[in-house]
Structure formats: structure tokens, C-alpha cells
Amino acid sequence: MTEALIVIDVQKDFCPGGALAVAEGDQIVPGINALMVESPVVVLTQDWHPAGHSSFASTHPGAEVMSMTEMPYGPQVLWPDHCIQGSDGAKFHPDLTVDRADLIIRKGFNPAIDSYSAFFENDHVTPTGLEGYLRSRGITDLVMVGLATDFCVNYSAVDAAKLGFKVTVRRELCRGIDMDGSLAAAETAMAEAGVILA
């Protein structure tokens, strides 16, 4: 068994003061730093959208932030502008020990498709390349932490479990957005997919 730690989207825009702030998003940083020291393989993900991304409410005239729309690939939440490539908000939290990372994978760069998951874009078809990286390093088990529990952590964990990885989500090192019961729904989806919620 070889285990990798996947740290999802611990970026300024998802922390208090950021464009899409997750409550207490910054509080998980010290615990994640400690876990990185013990982990043989560490991967960081970074939400990384071009300006005018199709997941931004501002791209759809008249659309309200946090409203739903239909995309060719299914329903999509319309977010505030966040994690724009090269922006300050797209940077990792300043206290995250990014030097420990073996790989940083960026996602959400396709203007037409959002990408919550670290493995596939929201069409559930277009791969990010992370699966190939992990398999070619012989990794079978994944520990996931980060932001947000009910979106990017959830989608990444469910996809990884479907791909056959043994996945553990360390709940105390995640924080959620929790809109319209999304946190409870995510925990159910992860459990049904065989993800261990620790």
C-alpha cells in the first residue's frame, strides 16, 4: 500500500476574507501542515479559473450569485468570481507549507466546464491527469482534506472511490460551504461511494 495525501483548494479565496469564503476555512491549515510532514506523497490542488469562467454568475447577465443554471453537462451553481488565474485570491493560504508538495494540480481552467473534482471536470468525462500520476507512482490509498467539504472534496473523494482508490476523508481537516443542505448530501454521497469519513 502506498498512500498519498490530497490537499484540496486551500486557497485564499476559500478562506475568511476571500471571494468565496468558507467559514473557518483557515482553521484547518495547521492540522494539514502537520499531516503533510507524515505523508509519503503529497498532492495539492488549486482551483484555477480564467476570467469570465462559465461558473461565475458575472458571466451570465442577470444571474444571481449562488443561483443554479443548466450547463450542457448538467446543473451548475453560479459562484462569485473566485480563484482567477494569477490573482491574489487564487494563491494558497500563506501559512500552508506548499514546499512539501510533490505535485500541484490545477483545475477549472477550461472556460466552458467547471471542475470540482481533482480527477474529472464536471462533465465527468474530461480527466485532469491526476489518476495517471497517482497510478504511475503505485498509489492505492488516498487521504483527502481541504475545502470545500461539500463541493471539491466531495467530488474528488467520490471520483477517487469510483476509480478504485481506497479513500479516507479527514472531516476535521475540511470545512464546507453548506448551501441548501449540501453538506449532509455530500456526506451521504461520499459514504454511499465507499469513502471512509474519519
Min dist. Cβ of residue 183 to ligand VGL (A): 12
Among 4, 5, 47, 157, binds ligand VGL (CB under 6 A): 47
Mark whether 91 is an active-site residue.
Answer: no
DSSP string covering 20-69, please? TPPTTGGGGHHHHHHHHHH-SEEEEEEE-BPTT-TTBGGGSTTPPTT-EE
Number of residues that bind ligand VGL (CB under 6 A): 9
Can residue 47 be called a binding residue for Zn ion (CB under 5 A)? yes
Can residue 159 be called a binding residue for Zn ion (CB under 5 A)? no
Spatial separation of the C-alpha atoms in residues 100 and 11, rounded to whole Å = 16
Strand partners, 144: 6, 169
Is residue 146 classed as helix, strand or coil in its secondary structure? strand
Which residue out of 15, 107, 150, 159 is catalytically annotated?
A: 107
Q: What residues between 113 and 142 interact with ligand VGL by CB under 6 A?
A: 116
CB 73 within 8 A of CB 122: yes
Which residue out of 47, 152, 159, 174 is catalytically annotated?
A: 152
Can residue 32 be called a binding residue for ligand VGL (CB under 6 A)? no
H or E segment at 159? helix 154-162
Mark whether 107 is an active-site residue.
Answer: yes
Active site residue ranges: 9, 107, 152
Site residues, ligand VGL (CB under 6 A): 9, 14, 47, 79, 116, 147-148, 151-152
